[in-house]
Amino acid sequence: MNSIQAALNRGSKFLKENSIISHQIDSELLLSKVLNKKREYLVLNNTQILSSDLIFQFEVLLNRRKRKEPIAYILNRKEFWKNNFYVDKNVLIPRPDTEILIEQVMKIYNKDQRLSVLDIGTGSGCIIISILKERQKFKGTAIDISEKAIKVAKFNAKIHQLNNRVNFYKSSVDNFFLGKYDLIISNPPYINSLKLKYLDKDILGYEPIQALEGGLNGLKVFHKIIKKSSKLLKKGGKLVLEIGFDQKLEMLRLLKNKFFLNKTIKDYNGKDRCLICTKL
């Protein structure tokens, strides 16, 4: 009874009993991780017998998932835009909504432009790395206040062979004074401290709070980013930001006299999610 198929069924049942909605796919992903194979392998080899050691490793992962640890942290992997990124508990798990920022940058700039880009609060590095992979002539700089996040981002840059086109610095936005940029991009922490407690258990219990919390009105970091960007951007340079669904009006107030708002883009739920601004 230790075939791949039997293990998958048991795993899925176990997760289902523990209220994990994605129990079936999670069971498959976790067993693939243990076997170090693609998911298709499980289907094609479903009668293969597993050693008790492998079953034990599978059970360890199932128990982590039972405690609501995000699957991306257990697998140390998350797909974003067109690539896979290494992730661990030191960085926010890249979100599909953030891909909107990449899509917009692709629309604004063509393949032949040479640009210098700054990513503020790079986390896993998913934004800057995705942009640089699409635009060969861009040069990147990325900062994060967390030393551990910078390590993860550097690792991802290495995996994607971009280490010579992007510089990483452990720095807060206020203390960063280096360079002049054509484009500044950021998905900063923007959740109101008082609303944090309503987030899902898998987020709250595992993702770095520092990457989520934007102070009492959620705008603390935006304030700093806008101030700093008006200094570090070249004239006519662009600022592309991810925002919370209810923050557009307050953002307009912060941008006033410094930036012109070109465009607001909605996310897949029809909520305001991304602002494109030009430095005045």
Neighbours of 71 (CB within 10 A): 20
Close Cβ partners of 262 (under 8 Å, ≥ 6 residues apart): 238, 276, 277, 278
Q: Specify the DSSP class assigned to residue 213.
A: B
Alpha-carbon torsion, ordered 96, 99, 100, 101, to 10 deg? 140
Instruction: Kindly state whether residue 90 participates in binding ligand GLN, applying the rule CB under 6 A.
Output: no
Instruction: Kindly state whether residue 126 participates in binding ligand GLN, applying the rule CB under 6 A.
Output: yes
Instruction: Kindly state whether residue 211 participates in binding ligand GLN, applying the rule CB under 6 A.
Output: yes
In angstroms, give the least distance from the CB of 152 to ligand GLN.
10
**CA dist., res. 120 & res. 176, Å (int):** 10
Tell me the number of residues near ligand GLN by CB under 6 A: 13
Identity of the residue, 58 or 80, whose beta carbon is nearer to ligand GLN in the bound complex: 80
Identity of the residue, 27 or 187, whose beta carbon is nearer to ligand GLN in the bound complex: 187
Point out which span in 3-11, 25-33, 183-191, 258-266 binds ligand GLN (CB under 6 A).
183-191
Which one of residues 27, 122, 130, 156 is an interface residue with ligand GLN (CB under 6 A)? 122
Identity of the residue, 11 or 218, whose beta carbon is nearer to ligand GLN in the bound complex: 218
Burial of 94 (0-12, 13-18, 19+ CB in 10 A): buried
**CA dist., res. 196 & res. 202, Å (int):** 13
Which one of residues 35, 70, 71, 94 is an interface residue with ligand GLN (CB under 6 A)? 94
What does the DSSP assignment read for 103-168?
HHHHHHS-TT---EEEEES-TTSHHHHHHHHH-TT-EEEEEES-HHHHHHHHHHHHHTT-TTTEEE
In angstroms, give the least distance from the CB of 32 to ligand GLN.
24
Which one of residues 98, 104, 130, 192 is an interface residue with ligand GLN (CB under 6 A)? 98
Which one of residues 121, 140, 237, 244 is an interface residue with ligand GLN (CB under 6 A)? 121
Q: Kindly list the residues in this chain that would bind ligand GLN in the complex (CB under 6 A).
A: 92, 94, 98, 121-124, 126-127, 187-189, 211
